[in-house]
């Protein structure tokens, strides 16, 4: 039977239809990383050969964790924190750590959306401002590629910068010399940020009732834009060159540990695992929804979208390289550099550049909006489920959501100053990085696979869906996923490189200390919460440990199946309980 916690579960609500759930999850997992990170990583780390470590992490971590988190959400009907109180109270810190990472993500992700809206507004200009050097922010070193036919002259100018780069650095960011020089707020970017927060607020202020309706547009329309850009990109001269560079296999790169680490980090980010997002989205499903089949199809959609986005991006970069007469190495970028320098520069060189610029930034905004308001919904649900008697009264959710948005907004104002890009990179590199998520994933699989029980998870999937899951997932939950996650976490620490900006700016020591405080703030919640719970329980250490490893009595299968699994679960617990 379904986990029950009184009348609150009935008031909690469900998705209006299965389609709403599928679109919400698709909108969450298919985001900016598919467009601006995966294609570059594929090109940089061996082209087609990169698909080998990518698929290894998909099979050992991505899909198993995706299914695991969706399953426990649907089973417990609880958010990212309270689900642990029902399954394994000792591991509640995993939920708190995941929500803290999402809080940091709320602060950084919407900054990207405000930049995208800024570019979208300028895309309606009669001449794209990043297509010429005749603007007040341009310097004498500015080069207008769309107007210059003699690219060799540019190649010989080592101090030259493109018009797109100057627009990004001098007009949008007005970037200072370092994090020590914060400077003033960029008021036009602030206006864009306010607009994006208002949109996000009204997308989710009524919970799944409003979120479920919004995703019909925000999760589907980006695919229309991506298809348009793909067709346009493949029709450009030089597109084939770009696609070849994107997928050209370099098997020798497979011996580089960095390639495998980057493949793992991409999987954890793009599949949105480890932070409780899928748990919350799954918790609004009906108990008998076939989450097993849904998870497999959604994982496939995510990976296919990443590959297709690579064709759309690199076909355009190939065109750009041919037009400039340079190697694609010099135009291929990742992250903000792709979205706000390379791609805008490329569309400025096309006929009817405004149309392609509008398509691109509309796609970016919708991809990011989906992820942003799902992250907000996850945090809201997790907090609401912790205090149901307070938060589920009329108007309380809307007020708390407004307060949370205002806290995020005020906290991120420093990121839209002249030195804000340095702060943004600091949060992105340390607070929201893959190392923290890997740490949470290790303990998530240990808690659910060994303490709660992999056999029990199998029985839950069968009880909910009527389908027997592939035995391979049991092997993953018990062995492969925790081992691969732990190995990746260890390698990320061993291979750690201090953050730099644009390969030349080195942060001051106090900034690195702040970065590590941000990273450790989510990691230390796992042992911290466990020690707190052990310290506040009654009884001997063994009794406390045993009690905190027990799931809630109202989370049970049919009595016959529960009795059948009890012996298996006790054997697993004996490996963890002290004598």
> Beta strand 161-162 with 500-501: parallel, antiparallel or unpaired?
unpaired
Q: Is the pLDDT of residue 151 over 70?
A: no
Q: What is the pLDDT of residues 238-285, one digit of tens each?
A: 999 989 988 888 899 899 888 998 899 899 988 999 999 999 999 999
DSSP result, 445-500? HHIIIIIIIHHHHHHHHHHHHS-PPPHHHHHIIIIIHHHHHHHHHHHHHHT----E
Distance CA 135, CA 123 (A): 15
Buried b (16+ CB within 10 A) or exposed e, 302-320: bbebbbbbbbbbbbbbbbb
Q: Which of 476, 455, 492 is nearest to 57 (CA)?
A: 476
Q: What is the pLDDT of residues 73-85, one digit of tens each?
A: 999 999 999 999 9
In this structure, is residue 348 part of a structural domain? yes
Domain count, the chain: 1
pLDDT of residue 572: 53
In this structure, is residue 126 part of a structural domain? yes
Burial class (CB in 10 A: 0-12, 13-18, 19+), 216: middle
156-178: average pLDDT: 86
In this structure, is residue 301 part of a structural domain? yes
Per the prediction, the chain carries an average pLDDT of 88
Q: Is the pLDDT of residue 571 over 90?
A: no
Q: What is the pLDDT of residues 44-97, one digit of tens each?
A: 888 888 999 999 999 999 999 999 999 999 999 999 999 999 999 999 999 999
Distance linking the first and last C-alpha atoms of the chain? 34
Q: Is the pLDDT of residue 512 over 80?
A: yes
Owning domain of residue 28 = 18-148+158-573
DSSP result, 403-448? HHHHHHHHHTGGGGBTTHHHHHHHIIIIIT-HHHHHHHHHHHHHII
Distance CA 574, CA 369 (A): 46
Q: Is the pLDDT of residue 40 over 90?
A: no
pLDDT of residue 574: 60
Length of the chain: 579
Q: Collapsing DSSP states into helix, strand and coil, what is residue 34?
A: helix
pLDDT of residue 566: 57
CB count, 10 Å around CB of 351?
A: 6
Q: At what angle do helices 239-247 and 291-324 cross, to 10 degrees?
A: 130
Contact 86, 348 (CB under 8 A): no
* Residue carrying structure tokens 């007020």: 399
Cα–Cα–Cα angle for 378, 382, 385, rounded to 5 degrees: 135
In this structure, is residue 88 part of a structural domain? yes
Binned at pLDDT 50, 70 and 90, residue 567 comes out as: low
Distance CA 326, CA 241 (A): 12
Dig out the tokens for 251 from the structure: 């098997």
pLDDT of residue 573: 55
The helix, strand and coil proportions of the chain, stated in percent and rounded to the nearest 5, come to: 75, 0, 25
Q: Is the pLDDT of residue 4 over 80?
A: no
* Residue carrying structure tokens 């600091």: 426
Q: How far is CA 499 from CA 134, 268, 317, 507, 523, in A?
A: 34, 20, 27, 7, 19
**pLDDT top residue among 109 and 395:** 109
Dig out the tokens for 512 from the structure: 């690195």
463-472: average pLDDT: 93
Q: Is the pLDDT of residue 141 over 80?
A: yes
Q: Is 367 annotated as a binding residue?
A: yes
Contact 96, 81 (CB under 8 A): yes
Dig out the tokens for 216 from the structure: 């019909």
Residue partners of 198: CB distance under 8 A and separation at least 6: none
Highest mean pLDDT among 246-255, 335-344, 479-488: 479-488
pLDDT of residue 570: 60
Q: Is the pLDDT of residue 159 over 80?
A: no
In this structure, is residue 31 part of a structural domain? yes
Q: Is the pLDDT of residue 504 over 90?
A: no
In this structure, is residue 362 part of a structural domain? yes
- Domain CATH code at residue 312: 1.20.1740
Least confident of 114-123, 154-163, 383-392, 514-523: 154-163
Q: Is 554 annotated as a binding residue?
A: no
Q: Is 34 annotated as a binding residue?
A: yes
Binned at pLDDT 50, 70 and 90, residue 507 comes out as: very high
pLDDT of residue 579: 47
Q: Is the pLDDT of residue 578 over 60?
A: no
pLDDT of residue 160: 80
Dig out the tokens for 177 from the structure: 């010399």
| Overall pTM surpassing 0.85 (yes/no) | yes
pLDDT of residue 157: 55
Alpha carbon 66 to its chain centroid, in Å, reads: 13
In this structure, is residue 466 part of a structural domain? yes
Binned at pLDDT 50, 70 and 90, residue 355 comes out as: very high
Residue partners of 10: CB distance under 8 A and separation at least 6: none
pLDDT of residue 385: 92
pLDDT of residue 433: 83
In this structure, is residue 1 part of a structural domain? no
* Residue carrying structure tokens 């002259």: 153
Binned at pLDDT 50, 70 and 90, residue 552 comes out as: confident
157-186: average pLDDT: 90
């Amino acid at each position: 039977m379904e986990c029950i916690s009184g009348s609150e579960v009935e008031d909690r609500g469900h998705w209006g239809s299965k389609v709403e759930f599928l679109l919400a999850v698709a909108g969450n997992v298919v985001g900016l990383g598919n467009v601006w990170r995966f294609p570059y990583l594929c090109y940089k780390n061996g082209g087609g050969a990169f698909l080998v470590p990518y698929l290894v992490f998909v099979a050992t971590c991505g899909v198993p964790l995706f299914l695991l988190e969706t399953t426990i959400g649907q089973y417990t009907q609880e958010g990212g924190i309270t689900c642990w109180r029902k399954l394994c109270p000792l591991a509640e810190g995993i939920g708190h750590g995941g929500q803290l990472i999402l809080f940091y993500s709320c602060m950084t992700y919407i900054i990207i959306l405000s930049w995208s809206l800024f570019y979208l507004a300028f895309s309606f200009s009669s001449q794209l401002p990043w297509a010429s050097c005749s603007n007040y922010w341009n310097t004498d070193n500015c080069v207008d590629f769309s107007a210059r036919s003699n690219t060799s002259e540019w190649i010989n100018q080592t101090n030259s910068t493109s018009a797109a780069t100057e627009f990004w650095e001098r007009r949008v960011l007005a970037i200072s010399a370092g994090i020590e020089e914060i400077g003033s707020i960029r008021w036009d970017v602030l206006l864009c940020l306010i607009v994006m927060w208002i949109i996000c607020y009204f997308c989710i202020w009524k919970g799944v009732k409003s979120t479920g309706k919004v995703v019909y547009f925000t999760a589907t329309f980006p695919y229309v834009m991506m298809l348009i850009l793909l067709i346009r990109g493949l029709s450009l001269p030089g597109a084939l060159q770009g696609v070849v560079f994107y997928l050209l296999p370099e098997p020798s790169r497979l011996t580089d540990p960095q390639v495998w680490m980057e493949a793992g980090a991409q999987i954890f980010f793009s599949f949105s695992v480890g932070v409780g997002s899928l748990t919350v989205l799954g918790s609004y499903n009906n108990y008998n929804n076939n989450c097993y089949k849904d998870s497999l199809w959604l994982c496939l959609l995510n990976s296919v979208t990443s590959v297709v986005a690579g064709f759309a991006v690199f076909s355009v970069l190939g065109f750009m390289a041919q037009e400039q007469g340079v190697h694609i190495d010099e135009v291929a970028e990742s992250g903000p550099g792709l979205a706000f320098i390379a791609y805008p520069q490329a569309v400025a060189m096309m006929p009817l550049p405004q149309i392609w610029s509008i398509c691109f930034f509309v796609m970016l905004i919708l991809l990011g909006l989906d992820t942003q308001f799902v992250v907000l919904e996850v945090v809201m649900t997790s907090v609401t489920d912790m205090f149901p008697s307070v938060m589920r009264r009329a108007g309380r959710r809307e007020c708390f959501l407004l307060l949370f948005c205002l806290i995020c907004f005020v906290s991120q104002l420093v990121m839209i100053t002249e030195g804000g890009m340095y702060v943004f990179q600091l949060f992105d590199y340390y607070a929201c990085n893959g190392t923290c998520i890997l740490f949470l994933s290790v303990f998530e699989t240990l808690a659910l696979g060994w303490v709660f029980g992999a056999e029990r998870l199998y029985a839950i999937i069968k009880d909910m869906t009527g389908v027997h899951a592939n035995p391979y997932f049991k092997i993953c939950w018990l062995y492969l996923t925790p081992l691969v996650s732990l190995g990746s976490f260890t390698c990320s620490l061993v291979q750690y490189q201090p953050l730099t900006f644009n390969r030349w700016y080195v942060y001051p020591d106090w900034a690195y200390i702040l970065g590590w405080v941000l990273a450790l703030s989510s990691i230390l919640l796992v042992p911290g919460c466990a020690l707190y719970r052990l310290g506040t329980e009654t009884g001997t250490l063994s009794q406390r440990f045993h009690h905190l490893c027990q799931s809630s009595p109202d989370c049970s299968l049919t009595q016959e199946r529960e009795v059948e699994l009890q012996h298996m679960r006790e054997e697993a617990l004996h490996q963890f309980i002290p004598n």
